[in-house]
Structure 1
């Protein structure tokens, strides 16, 4: 399956970033040029903005090609996304979704995806459905409702609290070029938060953590290199307006790939998603470009 990603405008970017409180200067038309050695020449599209459009196309593919009975047995969604280049306003892109492969032994249905601008890869990844959320071996704090927002917790976790709001989700979908009426319709009593929407608040949590530590966003800008995300779709289906989302983030390690962060999303104390996010200093990307 192939699909065309219509060009994003700055308005799409602004709507998406305001809906998710993403204050990264890379997306700000008044601040992107302040970033040290920024090679992009304009604001860039949010990573989760692209991922949400991509997730919608994969869901369309699933409905057209996969067995609904099998999908019902695989209630956990798994994404691996590798960002090869930034998407800029006005760029047209083409998505290719490879046919699904089901591994009966592991109980995993997977598709490879590729997003390109012309001949240039922008994003390479894999989407999967499996039976259960991976067990969390880490010591994740509990009773999060009693903890203050933007607080440091045991185990090195930083807590960011958000509330699910239908208006924000609708605006985010508009910014992602996904029709909101597929998920929300008051007259038809339809309220279904897209599963990538709560995950998108990871950006806000990471930014808030960095800001609390005095990070200089203009002198030391960072960009996404990789997302690995698991979402419990059964929990996501229960989300309603004003549901309390607790996002936990903490650094895991730093290696040649970049800075790895563990991220967890819980509705009260019920796990909704887990994500491992890799951030790379922009200076490293600029140095690599100069060596070419």
Structure 2
């Protein structure tokens, strides 16, 4: 399914989305993008999680049109999984085309619904990946967080004792979720309607708060955002829909972030650029794991160097 009319993000959409998710990355700032050393993007760029939310919303409409939401409910496919690879940045006012391939339904080893996704703008691929509905999380499924201390008693922006996890505490708010939806070109009234007493949190919004958590962790480590900016290369996300259905306004969310050691076995497209990989978890106050995310980032400088070496 390719939407007939293209999507267009304006700068105001970027500002609304970054304010709703507390993302203070300079790449998205209409003034401060100029302060980023060797910035090749020539202006602010759209947030990765913003594009993921547009994908979430359009696949939701697709599922409803094909009655696939009934298959998901009947078979208790409680995990929504996104595997996204970012290929190029998207600027405001660039026309964007989203293509959702026909759903593939597999039954072995377990029932899985899969859609391939591509986003293109001006003939260039912006991102590509998959969205899958499964009974178990596809990413970071083996992680056991049962031995963690009581996170409610720990200070915000601190290391969890006896672990490698950085803790960032957030609160879910209907207003921020609505703004993030609108900033992502999704229809907020499909999720929130006060008169009908409907308040259904979208899947990606809580996940988007990890960007701010990563930025705050880097800030405490005295990272120089102007001289050494980092960009996402991929997002692997598993969201527990049963947990998500319980989320209400003002609920507490504990975001845990762990950086993995860099390795020559973990590089960008088999190049010599080592990926910086983070595991992120979103836990509700009752310790239920709302989301699991594996993020890959690389220094912008390395990408620019790699591009220029290919051109010469």
TM-score normalised by L of structure 1: 0.96
Q: Which residue of 2 aligns with 1:273?
A: 291
Q: Which residue of 1 aligns with 2:97?
A: 94
Q: Take 1:22 and 1:64, find their aligned partners in 2: how far apart are those partners?
A: 33
Q: Take 1:163 and 1:58, find their aligned partners in 2: how far apart are those partners?
A: 27
Which deviates the most, 138-147 or 166-175?
138-147
Report deviation, 1:118. Answer: 2.7
Q: Which residue of 1 aligns with 2:271?
A: none
Report deviation, 1:38. Answer: 0.4
The CA RMSD over aligned residues, in Å, is 1.3
Q: 1:256 aligns with which of 260, 267, 271?
A: 267
Structure 2 unmatched runs, 5+: 269-274
SS in 2 for 1:77: strand
2:196 pairs with 1:193: no
Q: 2:126 aligns with which of 115, 122, 126?
A: 122
Q: Which residue of 2 aligns with 1:157?
A: 165
Q: Which residue of 2 aligns with 1:16?
A: 17
Q: Which residue of 2 aligns with 1:218?
A: 226
Whether the aligned pair in 1 keeps the contact of 2:114 and 2:131 (CA below 8 Å) is yes
Q: Take 2:179 and 2:261, find their aligned partners in 1: how far apart are those partners?
A: 34
Q: Which residue of 2 aligns with 1:58?
A: 59
Q: Take 2:151 and 2:93, find their aligned partners in 1: how far apart are those partners?
A: 42
Which deviates the most, 130-139 or 242-251?
130-139
Report deviation, 1:107. Answer: 2.1
Q: Take 1:238 and 1:133, find their aligned partners in 2: how far apart are those partners?
A: 18
Whether the aligned pair in 1 keeps the contact of 2:171 and 2:253 (CA below 8 Å) is yes
2:49 pairs with 1:48: yes
Indicate how the Cα distance of structure 1 residues 40 and 240 shifts in structure 2: closer, same or farther if over 3 A, else same: same
Q: Which residue of 2 aligns with 1:69?
A: 70
Indicate how the Cα distance of structure 1 residues 206 and 5 shifts in structure 2: closer, same or farther if over 3 A, else same: farther
Whether the aligned pair in 1 keeps the contact of 2:169 and 2:253 (CA below 8 Å) is yes
2:185 pairs with 1:177: yes
Q: Deviations over 1:239-285 (max 9, x none)?
A: 10011000000111323121110000011111101000000110111
Report deviation, 1:195. Answer: 1.2
Q: Which residue of 2 aligns with 1:131?
A: 135
SS in 2 for 1:173: helix
Q: Which residue of 2 aligns with 1:79?
A: 82
Q: 1:282 aligns with which of 300, 303, 308?
A: 300
Q: Take 1:142 and 1:102, find their aligned partners in 2: how far apart are those partners?
A: 40
Q: Take 1:166 and 1:261, find their aligned partners in 2: how far apart are those partners?
A: 27
2:168 pairs with 1:167: no
Whether the aligned pair in 2 keeps the contact of 1:253 and 1:261 (CA below 8 Å) is no
Report deviation, 1:173. Answer: 1.1
Structure 1 unmatched runs, 5+: none
Aligned residues: 292
SS in 2 for 1:48: helix
